[in-house]
Amino acid sequence: MHEVILPMRTGLHAWEVPYGLRLAGVTTGYRQGGTYMDCMKTLFTWHNQTLNSWTMIFGWACSCWLLWWTVTRLQPEGWDLAAFWALWLCPTMHLPFTVGYHQFLSISPVVLRHWRALDVAFIFVASIPLTWGLAYFVMPPAAAAALTAVAVGLALHAWHNAAALPAGADIDKKANTRYVGLVVLVYTFPIVMRGAQDLLATYGPGADGVWPAVATALGVDPLYGAKCAAAVAFCFVYGAAVYTSSFPDVYAPGLCDLVGSAQQLMHLAIAGAHVVEWLFAIHMYQRRLLMPL
| Residue 267 counted as an annotated binding residue | yes
Residue 5 confidence class, pLDDT cut points 50, 70, 90: low
Q: What is the DSSP letter of 174?
A: H
Query: Mind listing the domains of the chain with CATH numbers?
Result: 9-290 (1.20.1070)
Entry pTM:
0.95
Asked whether the predicted pLDDT for residue 1 surpasses 70, the reply is no
DSSP 72: I
Any binding-site annotation on 102? yes
Mean pLDDT of 22-41: 96
Residue 248 neighbours by CB under 8 Å, 6+ apart? 25, 242, 255, 256, 260, 261, 262
Task: Identify any residues that bridge with 290 across adjacent strands, giving them in sequence order.
Answer: none
Q: What is the pLDDT of residues 165-210, one digit of tens each?
A: 888 878 899 999 999 999 999 999 999 999 999 999 999 887 888 9
